[in-house]
Amino acid sequence: MMRTTAAVIAASLCFVAVASAFFLVIGRPPLTMLGRMAVYAFGDLYSISETLVKATPVLMCALAIIVPARLGLVSVGADGQLYFGALLGTAVMIAGAGSPGWWMLPATLLAAAAGGGAWGMAAGALKSRLGIHETISTLLLNFIALLLVNHFVYGAWRDPANLGWPSTIPFPDQAKMPSLLETRVHAGLLLALLLAAAGYAWLVRSRKGVEMDLLRENRKVGEMVGLSYGRNVLLAMGVGGAIAGVAGICEAAAIQGRLQPGLSAGYGLTGFLVAWLSGRSFLWAVPISLLIGGLGTAGDALQMFAKIPASSAVVLQGLLFATALAIAAAARRWSPHHG
């Protein structure tokens, strides 16, 4: 833990240095810009709420990657699971739109979890039955899920009242996560934090966590003591997918209000990077997601108020990931050997 903390501090300092260099290159005063970024991301209730809004799907997608990673699986499928979860959740919403009731939120959430879970398990089954590498299958399933959503929102589910804009009918209030403190932040954030804590409890102290560790480290020995690799792959991919599916329906219902193309602003990939930056830790994924959310919010604000190009936020995010991964690798390298 000491070492992780030291690495996080070192990564932050390095990021400040390279971000300063970036601002110098584009001809802006670095310290002023960095100061403004901090204010834009965390300076008042509105900034903080926007940061939390952005952090919520990123954190859920990171969790969707971390669960299969316990088993040594490198899934990049959070985006596809997010889209397919949103698709199934929306189907339930549309089916019940005539008579919305209290049941709508739990029903859409469950449908989204089932959809995301099924999408994850599809890749899991390909892995355990046919040995198809999960990174490839989850990557390709991302495209299929995204295009399926497009198929429906451009086609059968398009809301005619929406003047040709491709999207479904709006979600009724009964299908939305309750908002917190009258901001755009919704209870999905609490759910994500709860899931991070539950994931930690589930996979760090439990028998299941040790089983997954064992199968990751030595599958042969794991199977020798009676564990099934295939069943664990399905479980890990299913649970991870379900979390991403919930992220999808929360984003569609509570934030965007409708299911429409471009539901995910790269949350899956960002979540993947957060998962790897956190060292696949359920707990470290939380602050890192918040940081990424803050960076996104600050980037939007810089674009509006400081007139720097929109792509700057992406550049800064890239610099953050690159420095953090470099520091993480260096920390591992310099840790003492045991012989």
Contact residues: another protein, CB under 8 A: 205-208, 210-211, 213-214, 217-218, 220-228, 230-231, 336-339
Q: Do the Cβ atoms of 50 and 184 come closer than 8 Å?
A: yes
- Joined together, the tokens standing for residue 339 give 């012989």
What is residue 186's three-state secondary structure? strand
CB of 286 to another protein, least distance (A): 22
CB of 167 to another protein, least distance (A): 43
Task: Please give the helix or strand (H or E) that residue 106 lies within, else none.
Answer: helix 104-130
The conformation of residue 174, written as its DSSP 8-state character, comes to G
Nearer to another protein by Cβ, of 258 and 280: the residue is: 280
Phi first, then psi: give them for residue 179, nearest 5 degrees: -85, 155
Nearer to another protein by Cβ, of 222 and 245: the residue is: 222
CB of 204 to another protein, least distance (A): 10
CB of 129 to another protein, least distance (A): 12
Nearer to another protein by Cβ, of 160 and 226: the residue is: 226
- d(C-alpha 92, C-alpha 104), whole Å: 8
CB of 212 to another protein, least distance (A): 11
Phi first, then psi: give them for residue 186, nearest 5 degrees: -120, 170
- d(C-alpha 37, C-alpha 59), whole Å: 21
Nearer to another protein by Cβ, of 151 and 231: the residue is: 231
- d(C-alpha 317, C-alpha 287), whole Å: 15
Nearer to another protein by Cβ, of 28 and 280: the residue is: 280
